[in-house]
Amino acid sequence: MRFVSTSGHGPSASLVSALFEGLAPDGRLYVPESIEPWRPAEIAALPSMTLAEIGVRVLRPYVAGALDEAALAAAVHGALDFPVPTVEVEPGVFALELFHGPTLAFKDIGARVMARLVAALHDGGDPLTILVATSGDTGGAVGRAFHGVPHTRVAILYPEGRISPTQEAQLTMFNGEPNGSVRGYAVAGSFDDCQRLVKSAFADPALRARVRLTSANSINVGRLLPQMIYYFHAVARLMPEAPRALRFSTPSGNFGNLAAGLMAKRSGVPIASFVAATNVNDVVPAYLETGRFEPRASVATIANAMDCGNPSNFDRVLWVYGGDLGAIRRDITGSRHTDAEVRAVIRRVYDERGYVLDPHSAIGYLGIAGLKQPAPSGEVRVFLATAHPAKFAEIVEPIIGRPIDKPRALAAALGCARHVRRLAPSGDALREALTTAD
């Protein structure tokens, strides 16, 4: 399998090049040159497969020529060693709980698989520096996934004051290690500022001559492809409930999660359509209404991991459909929600169903609840529950009126001493951080 730029221009790249370079030479995103369709018999066999077995099958065509089957299986089985349950919240509406990994967020799936692919494919030469911009959960997942991986170091940029205290604890827990391989930097600005700094670093030939640089944001195809796995997994678990098809509501910020779902649908898995559920940073729902993609500065919300005003992965959404707006509209419905709506639905679902939503999962639920038509016979609706509510206890607990038990991994992170490293929002400051040893 070769990988190409979403622009359609320039030479193709191997998996190793796409994974280790992060961005295509023209600054656009890598995508596989083709999406392999699954045979109907393979789709029918999904309910008999485990999560890891599905993961190996999903990734097999994309690592062909780079990793053999045994190495791929070892990477996937090692990464996906936690459950991904489906929970019926109300009749015909299921939560796909993606938050049972070590950092309690869906990003664990892509980050852990990517880290093991990097470890398997690294040539043992110069260390690889993974540069990440995060609006909340990506950085913690990437830091934990790559911590201890040989020949790698991680630099995580996050917007100071715009993430939850719990998220900051997970981002900074390794900062106190002498000569540590994972560093989190608080940037004075928004997530868009962090993302701008990352893109400027990749576009800096002098820096890249000194530092072997890649990204573990979903702009990296190695982070994106594993996110297809849980859409197949949801279908596998719910096919007996949904003989017709599943309809997904995907909480969306930088849109890697939705892009992976669209690629899964293109592979032939029975997905009826998607809701692109956002907070008030709604440039994609606005595009679906107007046909114009108009990025803008992000607005801070209580669903902070989705505070993105210029989603990079929208480029991949356009690529999947060849820019055909009509086709995009047939498969994707936009849904935007305010903080007030999010708080209200967290309370209502808890009161009526006893189920606790975090703000991001609440937006996914709102996307399902907002569908105007009732589900056709044989169709099941699924929202992606992307983070454990304990990660946002300071928001959720006052709404539901009770404390949330903290999973052990989260309690350990909160118990670490907080070592905040601050970074000015400038290319010079980032270059110095990346080229200066602790």
Amino acid letter at 378? G
Phi, psi of 245 (to 5 degrees): -175, 165
CA 326 to chain centre: 26
CATH of segment(s) 78-106+223-409:
3.40.50.1100
Q: pLDDT value at position 243?
A: 62
H/E element, 289: helix 283-290
DSSP state of 148: T
Q: For the chain of 438 residues, list the mean pLDDT of each consecutive stretch of 10.
A: 94 94 91 96 95 98 95 96 96 95 93 93 85 82 89 91 84 80 91 88 91 88 96 92 82 95 96 96 97 93 91 96 97 97 98 97 95 77 96 95 90 80 93 85
Phi, psi of 87 (to 5 degrees): -125, 125
Query: pTM for this one?
Result: 0.91
CA 109 to chain centre: 8
| Bridge pairing between strands 30-32 and 3-5 | antiparallel
DSSP state of 218: T
3-class SS of residue 359: helix
Rounded Cα distance between 187 and 259, Å, is 27
Q: pLDDT value at position 333?
A: 96
Q: pLDDT value at position 73?
A: 97
Q: Are 112 and 223 in contact (CB under 8 A)?
A: no
Q: pLDDT value at position 438?
A: 63
CA 430 to chain centre: 24
Rounded Cα distance between 124 and 129, Å, is 13
User: Using DSSP, how many helices (H) and how many strands (E) does the chain show?
Assistant: 20, 13
Rounded Cα distance between 143 and 112, Å, is 10
Structure tokens at 142: 């990437």
Strand partners, 184: 156
Q: pLDDT value at position 168?
A: 86
Place of tokens 């093991």: 116
Strand partners, 182: 154
Rounded Cα distance between 157 and 133, Å, is 5
For residue 247, give Cα distances in angstroms to 272, 299, 383.
Answer: 5, 28, 8
Strand partners, 415: none
Torsion, CA 138, CA 139, CA 143, CA 145, rounded to 10: 0
Domain boundaries, the chain: 78-106+223-409
| Share of the chain residues as helix, strand and coil, in percent rounded to the nearest 5 | 45, 15, 40
Structure tokens at 373: 């038509």
Rounded Cα distance between 118 and 114, Å, is 6
